[in-house]
Amino acid sequence: MGHFPGTFDFTFSHVDYHDVTVSQVIVVDVTVTLDVQMDDIVGIEDEVVIPTEYAINQNYPNPFNATTNIYYSIPEDAYVTIDIFDLLGRKVETLVSGSHAPGIYTATWNANNVTSGMYFYIIQANDFSEKKSMLLLK
């Protein structure tokens, strides 16, 4: 098939075997030509998805080496923080800190400057707070 704009031919064949013998088979070929102009092309817009509740998903990949992604959902305007902590409860990094409109987000943590081990990440947004763990293997 070609590229838009252009002319495109489609051929459809229909064989009707309904209530006939083999000698009475009817074959119908129909060719349709479409002439598509740029004015005829309709754009497709991305659908905006507004979450109905706060959520933070398990990071991916997990375990990870060097970088990992944390996906989270915000259903209303909120000031969001995501902090990374080590096993002793020391804050290693603030990954996210700022106002967010409703939506689905991704934060990427580059852990090149920390040692292997278990880490926790905590999201806080309005009255929502949740903690998850992740494993860094170098």
What is the structure's pLDDT at 49?
A: 76
pLDDT tens, position by position, 70-128: 999 999 999 999 999 999 999 999 999 999 999 999 999 999 999 999 999 999 999 99
Check residue 5 and give its pLDDT.
54
Q: Within a domain: residue 80?
A: yes
Let me know whether 67 and 131 are in one domain: yes
- Residue 50 is predicted with a pLDDT of 87
* pLDDT tier for residue 2 given thresholds of 50, 70 and 90: very low
DSSP string, 77-95: -EEEEEEEEETTS-EEEEE
CATH number of the domain bearing residue 108: 2.60.40.1930
Q: Are 95 and 107 in contact (CB under 8 A)?
A: yes
Residues 61 and 121 in one domain: yes
Q: Which domain holds residue 132?
A: 55-136
Q: Which residue has the tokens 């000031």?
A: 79
Of 16-20, 33-37, 93-97, 134-138, which gets the smallest average pLDDT?
16-20
Q: Is 102 a domain residue? A: yes
Q: CA–CA distance from 94 to each of 28, 83, 98, 123 (Å)?
A: 68, 4, 11, 10
Domain identity same for 32 and 61:
no
* 7-16 pLDDT per residue, tens: 666 665 555 5
Segment 39-68, tens digit of pLDDT: 555 666 666 778 999 999 999 999 999 999
Q: Which residues contact 128 (CB under 8 A, 6 or more apart)?
A: 54, 78
